[in-house]
Amino acid sequence: MKVSLTVNGRAEEVDVPTNTLLVDILRTNLGLTGTHVGCDTSQCGACTVHVNGGAVKSCTILAPQAEGLEVTTIEGIGTMDQLHPMQEAFRECHALQCGFCTPGMIMQAIDLVENHKDLDNCGIREGLEGNICRCTGYHNIVRAIQSVVDQG
């Protein structure tokens, strides 16, 4: 089936079987491999992207459900010359170890900061409950997000 959607501001049309997942459209059809597949069971959050402005797990959206959606992936939030402030904070705080969970962490962190005022350490940790870092490198991830919150 044909699916039309907007990804990082660009109109795209793909032709895929109905049982394709949004994450596979992004990675395979559109070559946007920054979005990762970790668990493929909707638990780890490595595949987190923004749909119509909110963080969602792209491994749990079917291709036909993606019709007409506005999707933003990790590739769409900054450039190599000008990183998104959240990317810059992750770099500054060394908020990664192996880096596999990082794109999903950053996409969820942006949603978190946009939707919550006065986030503290506890609020940030609770806000990351849908994202798993198997290196267990949470401490610097929380520091990075806190630094963005503190910058206002």
Partner 1 sequence: MYPYNYHRPTQVAEAVALFKASDDPMYLSGGMTLIPTMKQRLAAPTDLIDLSGIEEMSGLNATAEVVQVGAFTQHNVVARSAQVQATLPVLAQLAGLIGDNQVRNRGTIGGSVANSDPAADYPCAIVGLGATVVTQQRSISGDEFFKDLFETALEPGEIITRIDFPVPTRAAYRKFPNPASRYAVVGVMVADFSGSIRVGVTGAGPCAFRASGIEEVLNRELSADAVDGVEVPDAGFNSDLHASGEYRAHLVKIMAKRAVADLLHS
Residues that bind partner 1 (CB under 8 A): 1, 17-19, 40-43, 45, 48, 51, 54-57, 60-62, 64-65, 67, 108, 111-112, 115, 127, 129-131
Q: Considering beta carbons, is residue 53 or 135 the nearer one to partner 1?
A: 53
Nearest to 47, CA basis, from 65, 19, 25? 25
Q: Considering beta carbons, is residue 96 or 112 the nearer one to partner 1?
A: 112
CB 46 within 8 A of CB 40: no
Q: Considering beta carbons, is residue 79 or 123 the nearer one to partner 1?
A: 123
CB 57 within 8 A of CB 19: no
- Beta carbon of residue 150, minimum distance to partner 1 (angstroms, whole number): 21
In angstroms, rounded to a whole number, what is the distance separating the alpha carbons of residues 81 and 132?
Answer: 28
- Beta carbon of residue 129, minimum distance to partner 1 (angstroms, whole number): 5
Q: Considering beta carbons, is residue 60 or 92 the nearer one to partner 1?
A: 60
For 83, the token pair is: 């990183």
- Beta carbon of residue 109, minimum distance to partner 1 (angstroms, whole number): 10
In angstroms, rounded to a whole number, what is the distance separating the alpha carbons of residues 29 and 146?
Answer: 35
Is the CA virtual torsion 62, 63, 65, 68 positive or negative? positive
- Beta carbon of residue 121, minimum distance to partner 1 (angstroms, whole number): 17
